[in-house]
Structure 1
Amino acid sequence: MIIRKLILLTTINPTRAVIFRRHVHVITFQQQLRIFHMSEIPVKHLLLGNFRRCTTVALASYSTFNKNLLENKINSGVKKNFNYTTMDPFLEMCLAQPDTTDNLNDAIGENYTDDIKLNVNSLAQKHHYGMTRRRYKDIRQWKSIEQESTTINVDTDFILRILSYNILAQNLLETHSYIYKHHNFDALDWNIRKVLVQQEIIEAGANVICIQEMQKAHLHEFLVPFLKDGYDYLYKKRTNDTEDGLLLLYRNNQLKLEDYEFVEYHQTSSDILNRDNVGIVVKFSLKDNPNTYVVISTTHLLYNPKRNDVRLAQTQILFSELERIAFNKNTKNGPKYHPIILCGDFNLQPFTGVYKFITEGSFEYSGKGRSLEASGFRRLSNSLIPSSLCITDNCQHFNVLAKRLRGFGTNKVMLKRSESGSDKSKKKNDLDSCSANEEVDINSTQYQKIKIIDGQYAAFASGAITHPFKLNSVYKHVNHKGEMEATTHQDEWITVDYIFFTDVEPLNHYALPTVSECQTLPLIPNFVVGSDHLCLGATFKLKKKNSTR
């Protein structure tokens, strides 16, 4: 018996000139030629996990909190406060089996609105290549972060669940279709992916949902089930001729929008800040406790793997807005900030330069290469971003800091903003001097140290940057066996998505698979996972402030 492999190039969609490779395996046995496999997917992917037994039994589970958290940690008052719901029954199934169609239709028809029903009749004929909903759920469970039980009191604690998800804008998928040439072509359809993404988000039962790569043309259709379910939203498209952006959804019966800022990283014509990435920073108060605040931010940084210097500069811009909006008061020990949760697609790997800056609070970039590693080529100078933006090396707006400490001044933010037609437009196409007395030399790339008040200084172009927050990552990126977790596939399975936090207590998180587990799964997106990223989630305990009224 001889096994042979052929590759057949097939045009799948003539109007888009998309060509797929079909892997054809044939057996020569007793002088007869028989085809035993033909697919866009190599046979090794088909064999992985295909021996898991499929069933047609509908199962139900809880998704708002895991079972232990429900039974051991939350009293009935907290359950009512969080408004948790039972997850819709789901079917462990292999969609190649047509006999599961009726059961899946019943489950979705009874528990989902018409806006997010799957077209099961067509999906049921597609191959999952070993991926089932049950198998995915076995890997992606909500797991407690601390081993010890945490007591939650509805009178003093607010339970905040946040979800972060890069959902893969359809226009980017089609523009870079070569990346998905080994995927099941039908699984890349937006109408299929949209439902899967919506389903996973809704099942999580989050108070706040942060989405990256939300295509503007698809925004309103995507929002339908969330608006019906009591969410409000903010949307910020990337600048210039881009089609996608950031979407932040929040439950308006629990959270009140106090302040927000759309952050644009395209600030200059220079190479370091001429990219169209954006961020959102939002300050919320609790509806039932107006003195309790939390600041939530999401962003999507530059993709280019070689330009960590650009991502560092973008992070400095974002943190200056975080510092401004999260500031609470000055104390003898320094400024005090409201609790902060920061999430998104940072396009950087754990423990690299920008990650260290976020989690350690400082980073020296001068003399390093664009990768932020030691390099003899294109070394960075002592100046990262232009002084004309008046953002200090401690990620603070100079004018805001000066007025805060002196009690007078312009309080003017020098960042450009392109929005128009609202009270948040604040469009600035000119770069005036930072303050009336021109304390900052906005044309200089040399080190500056400016006294604000006795003992308080602002530095520019020092070759290093710092920030005042003590941020931790919800995910530790390495499990107890030393295996790395992954959130997406970029030539290899890696982590680029994060949730950072400070001054809130993490309770549980939406577990990520390890790299080795990912290698046994079919490529994403597929008919179970609707994006090329895995979503992240975490539940926090936020301490309520005592009322002063």
Structure 2
Amino acid sequence: MDVTVNENNIVRADDTSQTKSQKRRYSSGNSSTSNQADVIRDQMRNDDPAIVDLTIDDASIIDLTVTASKSERTDAPKFYRDLEGSAVKHKDNSMGSLFSRLKESKPFQSGASRSGSPKPVEAFSELENKASRCSLNPPSKKHKKNENDLSPETNEVPREFPPYKSQRKWEWTYMGKQHLFGDGRYQSCGTDFTVMSYNVLAQNLLYDNMYLYYNSKEKHLQWDYRKHILLKEIKEQMPDILCLQEVNLDHYKSFFTPELTELGYKGEFQKRTGSDKFDGCATFYNTKRFKMVKCQHLRYYRQHRILDRDNIAVIMKLQPITRQEHSPQICIANTHLLFNPRRGDVKLAQMVLLLAEIDKLTVTTGEDGRTSHIPTIACGDFNLVPKSDLYKFLVEGYIHFEGLEANLLSGQRGGRRGRDTYLDRNFLPLELNISKYCTYIKENQLDMPPSNQISDSQDRSRNEMLSGSSNSQWKPESSQNTTSEFGQNTGHLWHNLNLVSSYKHKIERLGRSVREVTTFHGQDSAIVDYIFYNVTERNSEKGRLMLLGRWGLLSEDELHELGTFPCKNHPSDHLPLISHFLLE
């Protein structure tokens, strides 16, 4: 038999035959159990020959297998605790694979105890979960360039609480449970895919707003540290579509593009306008799942005071790669709207431009002349909170903006500071060529809603029933000023995308009374990131694009326990949102 010894003095067996002295190296050292351990090891090798390739010389492992094979087992907890202690003490990379091999081996599968004691397999599963939380794999030494390398060392993770990702759970809809976990009778045909939206915190913006991160350690704020955790998070989830905001241009070229290309992604990037801006939005897609049909780069900046900001969007039309000759297309819009809480008027104008561009890229006309939109997902950092006027406009499709306070439109904290400004009906410039239905005006177009747009009278009745909303306050027609030929500057806006949020903004596991949080730093926490998708009927949330599940968020109290973001375990001041969809 050939025995090789590596640089760590690890004995590996290159042949199935072994001498007794070599076998005793992995036994407990107790002569009364050595022979029994040899028999068990032979059985395990037949089941999995690699099981003898142990990298931890720990006698308690074989003691555990010997005892598990006995017909009576009274001291199982002691042995499990011994093994757990060994795993935590050694922090060895092989423990994960060792657990799985031992769990599947014949001695453990046949060693079920009597008299109501838990099965060794079940107990081992619990132990595996505990050990995986306590003994995270440290980075390989070959990846450390020098002593100043800032790549995170995960073995420094505090023991007081698990990483925040262990508290985030997938929340499945009824359709998601049937499609993904059903017995096949309820599984629908179509393409299921995941979308991640993530504000990764551009390094230049971090430095410009250091006062927000005074509680974070300097090391955890540096890009050479944060980039490793960002990539690890993406690899853990491997979304089919990845929408990033606040991506630094240099980092897009030097880090995101090469790293994600290696993982099978392609992407498009749009930098914010302005010579002093260095970040933007990037949208990546898995080339094995999708191909790009068209991409529109949207710059909100115009020569007008209401659109003099440098925010942008990337709107992409994708087609799934399937065996079907003509698979349905989808639209993915990725945007980052203005932050300033006092300038809700600017955010509304940017939103109108975004909706008009989405409509232009997605609108279709059926044989009956009725218009509709292909399945659409709009995600990003919208810098507005639920129940605000701007949020209601997105999900209800209507806003009466005339007379509203600009500094309250987004509902953000800090909006009440400064003087009050009110929107007038002429706040949108006519040169945008956008109608009151958030669509581009075509040549010879009359002041008519889309063919499937509900009438003004229906809209009035619906909005008059909304309780307590300033948007439902309709003025008599006689009191309104004359409108333009194309319905611009009427004081009202509609859109017909039928958008709903994939997140509910309340945490169901905490009783549905605690709000979710998507951004968290030393000064504030809020919900400003969203993944919207369009449906055929807003109330029933049915359509060609169905929500299967979402990766649950955390509450403010839960995040306070983890510390201020960015931190050792999380590289941004935003949490990533992930939703699972089915495209039919």
Common topology (TM > 0.5): yes
Kindly indicate whether residue 340 of structure 2 is the aligned counterpart of residue 304 of structure 1.
Answer: yes
Q: What does residue 78 of structure 2 align with?
A: none
Aligned mate of 1:510, from 528, 551, 576: 551
Q: What does residue 396 of structure 1 align with?
A: 439
- Percent of residue pairs identical: 28
SS at match of 2:163: helix
Counterpart residue identity of residue 346, structure 2 = V
Q: What does residue 249 of structure 1 align with?
A: 284
* Cα distance per residue 1:515-534 (max 9 Å; x no partner): 22112221111111111110
CA distance in 1: counterparts of 2:369 and 2:144, whole angstroms: 52
User: Is the contact made by 1:163 and 1:537 (CA closer than 8 Å) also made in structure 2?
Assistant: yes
Kindly indicate whether residue 489 of structure 2 is the aligned counterpart of residue 467 of structure 1.
Answer: no
Kindly indicate whether residue 529 of structure 2 is the aligned counterpart of residue 501 of structure 1.
Answer: no
| Structure 1 residue 492 displacement after superposition | 2.6
| Structure 1 residue 175 displacement after superposition | 1.6
Counterpart residue identity of residue 310, structure 1 = V
User: Is the contact made by 1:447 and 1:460 (CA closer than 8 Å) also made in structure 2?
Assistant: no
Aligned mate of 1:532, from 573, 576, 583: 573
Higher share of residues assigned strand: 1
* Cα distance per residue 1:410-465 (max 9 Å; x no partner): xxxxxxxxxxxxxxxxxxxxxxxxxxxxxxxxxxx975353xxxxxxx41011111
- CA root-mean-square deviation: 3.6
CA distance in 2: counterparts of 1:468 and 1:371, whole angstroms: 26
CA distance in 1: counterparts of 2:344 and 2:359, whole angstroms: 22
User: Is the contact made by 2:176 and 2:548 (CA closer than 8 Å) also made in structure 1?
Assistant: no
Q: What does residue 118 of structure 2 align with?
A: none
* Cα distance per residue 1:45-104 (max 9 Å; x no partner): xxxxxxxx988476879xxxxxxxxxxxxxxxxxxxxxxxxxxx998568xxxxx68x42
Kindly indicate whether residue 292 of structure 2 is the aligned counterpart of residue 261 of structure 1.
Answer: no
Q: How many residues align?
A: 405
User: Is the contact made by 1:57 and 1:91 (CA closer than 8 Å) also made in structure 2?
Assistant: no
Counterpart residue identity of residue 261, structure 2 = L
CA distance in 1: counterparts of 2:368 and 2:175, whole angstroms: 36
Which structure 1 segments of 5+ residues have no match? Answer: 1-52, 62-88, 95-99, 406-444, 451-457, 544-549
| Structure 1 residue 203 displacement after superposition | 1.1
Kindly indicate whether residue 515 of structure 2 is the aligned counterpart of residue 484 of structure 1.
Answer: yes
CA distance in 1: counterparts of 2:515 and 2:298, whole angstroms: 32
* Cα distance per residue 1:447-490 (max 9 Å; x no partner): 5353xxxxxxx410111111111111011101232000001126
Aligned mate of 1:176, from 201, 209, 215: 209
Kindly indicate whether residue 384 of structure 2 is the aligned counterpart of residue 348 of structure 1.
Answer: yes
Range with bigger deviation, 315-324 or 519-528: 519-528
Counterpart residue identity of residue 263, structure 1 = L
| Structure 1 residue 385 displacement after superposition | 1.4
SS at match of 1:256: strand
Q: Cα 1:355–1:511, aligned 2, differ >3 Å: closer, same or farther?
A: same
Aligned mate of 2:314, from 280, 292, 296: 280
Q: What does residue 323 of structure 1 align with?
A: 359
Counterpart residue identity of residue 531, structure 2 = I
CA distance in 2: counterparts of 1:286 and 1:209, whole angstroms: 15
| Structure 1 residue 283 displacement after superposition | 0.8
Higher share of residues assigned helix: 2
Q: What does residue 338 of structure 1 align with?
A: 374
Counterpart residue identity of residue 426, structure 2 = S
CA distance in 2: counterparts of 1:139 and 1:356, whole angstroms: 30
| Structure 1 residue 354 displacement after superposition | 1.0
Aligned mate of 2:198, from 159, 165, 169: 165
* Cα distance per residue 1:313-332 (max 9 Å; x no partner): 11100000000001122464
User: Is the contact made by 2:507 and 2:553 (CA closer than 8 Å) also made in structure 1?
Assistant: no
Q: What does residue 20 of structure 1 align with?
A: none
Which structure 2 segments of 5+ residues have no match? Answer: 1-86, 98-128, 449-479, 535-542
* Cα distance per residue 1:348-369 (max 9 Å; x no partner): 1111111111111111110111
Q: Cα 1:400–1:468, aligned 2, differ >3 Å: closer, same or farther?
A: farther
Show the 5 A alignment for 1:390-469: 390-399=433-442, 402=445, 447-450=482-485, 458-469=486-497
Q: What does residue 260 of structure 2 align with?
A: 226
CA distance in 1: counterparts of 2:151 and 2:356, whole angstroms: 49
Show the 5 A alignment for 1:107-126: 123-124=152-153
SS at match of 1:196: helix
Q: Cα 1:121–1:497, aligned 2, differ >3 Å: closer, same or farther?
A: closer
Q: Cα 1:115–1:237, aligned 2, differ >3 Å: closer, same or farther?
A: farther
User: Is the contact made by 2:407 and 2:420 (CA closer than 8 Å) also made in structure 1?
Assistant: no
Q: What does residue 563 of structure 2 align with?
A: 522
SS at match of 1:279: strand
* Cα distance per residue 1:119-139 (max 9 Å; x no partner): 99974499656676x431221
SS at match of 1:448: coil
CA distance in 2: counterparts of 1:401 and 1:195, whole angstroms: 55
User: Is the contact made by 1:506 and 1:540 (CA closer than 8 Å) also made in structure 2?
Assistant: yes
* Cα distance per residue 1:268-301 (max 9 Å; x no partner): 231x110000011111112224341100101000
Counterpart residue identity of residue 383, structure 2 = N
User: Is the contact made by 2:152 and 2:229 (CA closer than 8 Å) also made in structure 1?
Assistant: no
Bigger radius of gyration: 2
Q: What does residue 163 of structure 2 align with?
A: 135
* Cα distance per residue 1:380-420 (max 9 Å; x no partner): 101231011101111100027949x9xxxxxxxxxxxxxxx
Range with bigger deviation, 254-263 or 368-377: 368-377
Kindly indicate whether residue 407 of structure 2 is the aligned counterpart of residue 371 of structure 1.
Answer: yes
CA distance in 1: counterparts of 2:210 and 2:88, whole angstroms: 31
User: Is the contact made by 2:199 and 2:574 (CA closer than 8 Å) also made in structure 1?
Assistant: yes
Counterpart residue identity of residue 562, structure 2 = L
Q: Cα 1:330–1:485, aligned 2, differ >3 Å: closer, same or farther?
A: same
CA distance in 2: counterparts of 1:221 and 1:189, whole angstroms: 16
CA distance in 2: counterparts of 1:115 and 1:476, whole angstroms: 42
Using the size of structure 2 for normalisation, the TM-score is: 0.63
Counterpart residue identity of residue 483, structure 1 = V
Show the 5 A alignment for 1:62-77: none
Counterpart residue identity of residue 498, structure 1 = Y
Q: Cα 1:224–1:305, aligned 2, differ >3 Å: closer, same or farther?
A: same
CA distance in 2: counterparts of 1:93 and 1:119, whole angstroms: 27
Q: What does residue 386 of structure 1 align with?
A: 429
Q: Cα 1:120–1:137, aligned 2, differ >3 Å: closer, same or farther?
A: farther
SS at match of 1:399: coil
